[in-house]
Homo-oligomer: A and B are copies of this chain.
Amino acid sequence: MDTQRTADLGFAKLDLDRADRTGTPEVVYAAGKTPAQTVECLAALLEGGAAPAWATRVDDETAAAVLERWPDAVVDTGARCAFVGELPEPVGNVVVLTAGTSDGAVAAEVVATLRASGVGCTRVDDVGVAGVHRVLAVAPRIAAADAVVVVAGMDGALPSVVAGLTDRLVVAVPTSVGYGAAFEGLAALLTMLTACAPGVLVVNIDNGFGAGVAAARIVRSAQR
């Protein structure tokens, strides 16, 4: 462990060898940082070898600062992500499903994470269980995938149904969509943790980034 490289910016210690250790570089969480800090972090990661360097929870002001510094940066406004450096060629295929249209922002973060991780994906929106024929219609695409990511708020019931249809790993992302007893995503989280079908694995509420990293690991595992 002693040889790990670190870039010490004072306000942050960047873990430059994280991609070597874990397959995913340290990614800048822009939410608690000034635009200048995010830019400084991205620059240090680029210099440390990240390809691409990458930030999540990027607001408009930060996006502008990134583009000013690197005019060819890619900013994905739906996913609130920014990428500096060339994006890898995608391999494999992850199916990303949403239960409703309001789950789209989280799904966008999943897709952006897969893209920056060099993994291909197919996104299908609005296939919630209130019209269960919609998810049944997607079954062939699921059967051809390396893994499935299911994004759902409110009752969070979609992963249970999907996991009963496939032998692929199901990564479930509860979202904070809903009101009242949805309790900011708690209802969907509990539903997914107690899914009556095994093979469902759960990440934090609204954590599209974590789901994308996990799905990318599954694809890479299949590539080894």
Binding site for B on A (CB under 8 A): 1-2, 4, 6, 10-13, 15, 18, 21-24, 26-27, 29, 31-33, 37, 99-102, 104, 125-134, 136, 146-147, 154-157, 160-161, 163-169, 171, 174, 176-207, 209-210, 213-214, 217-218, 220-222, 224
Contacts and interface: CB of A to CB of B under 8 A. Distances in A.
B160 A217 contact: no
B199 A217 contact: yes
Instruction: Work out how many copies of this chain go into the complex.
Output: 8
Contact of A187 (B10, B130, B179, B191): B191
A15 B131 contact: yes
B181 A198 contact: no
Nearest to A167: B23
Contact of A102 (B29, B125, B146, B177): B29
